[in-house]
Amino acid sequence: MKTACIQTTATADIDENLSNVTRAIREAAKNGARLISTPENTDYIRRYAKDKLEISGDAQTHKPIAHYAALAKELGVWLLIGSLGVKISEDRLANRQHLFAPDGRLVDTYDKIHMFDVTLSRAEFYKESSDYKPGERAVVAPLEGGLTLGMSICYDVRFAYLYRALAQAGANILSVPAAFTVPTGQAHWETLLRARAIETGCYVIAPAQCGEHEGGRKTYGYSMIISPWGEVLAQAGSEQSIIYADITLDEIEKARHSIPALTHDREFKIEG
C-alpha cells in the first residue's frame, strides 16, 4: 500500500484549511497513494477556547467530517484525518481522529488520551485539558490486505505502553499525527517515532503541522514515515509538503520474526 503524509500549516479559518488540505489530498491520490493521512488539528489552530468552541460542530454538524467522508469516497482512498476539534458539550471538545474507508464510510474514531499539559518556558506553556476531554479507549481499525491501524495523536507518542498495547491487539501500522512544538520537535520527534516503530515492529506514519499559526504558535514539521525496523523511509522539512512510502506486510513480518519482542513480556515486581 502506498501511503502519503500531508504536512500543512493550519490557519484559524476552517474553510481555508479545507481547501488547502483537500488540494493536497487530491494530489496524493493522483500520485497513487492508497492511504492518505493529515496532521493533528487539520480543521484549524486557534489560540483561545471560546474561538475553538464557536467554530466547532458536534459529530453530526462539524463541517470537515462530511467533507472528508465524501472526498474519500470520490477518490476511492483510505483517508485518515489526524484530528478535528469536535464539540461534545457547551464548553468541551474532543481532539478526535477519523478514519474513512474508500467507500466514504467512517470506520472508526479515536479521541486523544494523553493531554498536552506542559510548561516549556515562561513564554510557552500549554494546558490541553482545559479545552479538551481526554479519550478513554484505544483503537485498532482494519484497513485492507491484512493491514491494521493503531490510532494515536501527538503527545500520546511519549507513552510507550499505549503503542505496545495497540501492537499486541493487532495493529501493524501506527498513526501519530501531530502539531509538535518546535523545541520538543527538535529534541525528541524523530527519536520517539523511531522508538515506537522499533519497539512494536510497526510502520509509523506521522503527518505534522508546520510553520506559524494564530497567536504566534509555531509547529515543528518534519513529517515522517518509518519502517518496522526503525528506518526513516520518508521525511519532510519545515515547509508544507507531501511525503510518500510503500507499506508491505513482508517488512512487518520480517521485523517481528527477527525480534519477536511483542511475545516476550514477563511479569516482575518493583522493589525498593
Q: Going residue by residue through the chain, which has 272 residues, state the pLDDT in tens, using 9 for 90 and above.
A: 999 999 999 999 999 999 999 999 999 999 999 999 999 999 999 989 899 999 999 999 999 999 999 999 999 999 999 999 999 999 999 999 999 999 999 999 999 999 999 988 887 888 999 999 999 999 999 999 999 999 999 999 999 999 999 999 999 999 999 999 999 999 999 999 999 999 999 999 999 999 999 989 999 999 999 999 999 999 999 999 999 999 999 999 999 999 999 999 999 999 99
d(CA 141, CA 122): 40
Distance, in Å, from the CA atom of 218 to the CA atom of 9, rounded to the nearest integer, reads 9
Q: Which one-letter amino acid corresponds to residue 245?
A: A
27: nearest Cα among 242, 223, 195: 242
Q: Which residues contact 149 (CB under 8 A, 6 or more apart)?
A: 80, 99, 140, 141, 142, 143, 171, 173, 174, 175
Task: Pick the catalytic residue from 5, 154, 202, 210.
Answer: 154
The per-residue pLDDT for 126 is 86
**Helices (runs of H) and strands (runs of E) counted in the chain:** 6, 16
**Is residue 112 annotated as part of the catalytic site, yes or no?**
yes
- Paired sense of beta strands 35-37 and 2-7, if any: parallel
Q: Look up residue 191 and give its amino acid.
A: T
Q: Which residue among the candidates 5, 52, 87, 112 is catalytic per the annotation?
A: 112
Looking up cell 477519523, which residue turns up?
Answer: 98
Q: Out of 40, 52, 87, 251, which one is annotated catalytic? A: 40
What pLDDT, on a 0 to 100 scale, did the predictor assign at position 164? 98
Distance of alpha carbon 132 from alpha carbon 88, whole angstroms:
9
Which of 87, 102, 95 is closest to 1 using CA atoms?
A: 102
- State how far Cα 266 lies from the chain centre: 30
| Cα maximum dimension of the chain | 59
| Whether the Cβ atoms of residue 181 and residue 88 lie closer than 8 Å to each other | no
Return the pLDDT at 242.
98
Query: Dihedral of CA 232/235/237/238: which sign?
Result: negative
> CB–CB of 242/212 below 8 Å?
no
What's the CATH class of domain 2-260? Answer: alpha beta
Instruction: Report the alpha-carbon distance of residue 85 to residue 111 in Å, rounded.
Output: 10
Cell output for 222: 518534519
How many CB atoms sit inside 10 A of residue 76's CB? 12
Locate all alpha helices (DSSP H) within the chain, ordered by sequence: 14-30, 49-55, 63-75, 160-168, 182-200, 249-258
40 part of the active site: yes
- pTM for this one? 0.96
